[in-house]
Amino acid sequence: MLERRAAAKLQAQNAVDLEQERKRDGIQLQRTRVLREIESARNERHRQTLEIGLKFLDDQLNGLR
C-alpha cells in the first residue's frame, strides 16, 4: 500500500515537472520570436513594445525556475 502511494506521488510529480518543462519550452520559443522581431523592428515604438514583452517573458521564465 505504501509503495502504491509513493508510486502515485512520483507519477504526479513527474506530470507537474513535464507541464513546467512544456511551459518553459513554449515561453522560450516566444522569447526567440520576440528577439528576432526586435532585431528587425524599424519603428522605435514597436521595438519598445517588443522589449516590454521580452521582459515579461523573462519574468515568466524566472518564475518557473
Residue-range domain boundaries for the chain: 2-64
pLDDT score at 4: 76
pLDDT tens for each residue of 22-56: 999 999 999 999 999 999 999 999 999 999 999 99
pLDDT confidence bin for 64, thresholds 50/70/90? confident
Is the pLDDT at 21 greater than 80? The verdict is yes
In the chain, the amino acid numbered 39 is: E
Tell me whether residue 50 is exposed, middle or buried, using C-beta atoms within 10 angstroms of its C-beta: 0 to 12, 13 to 18, 19 or more: buried
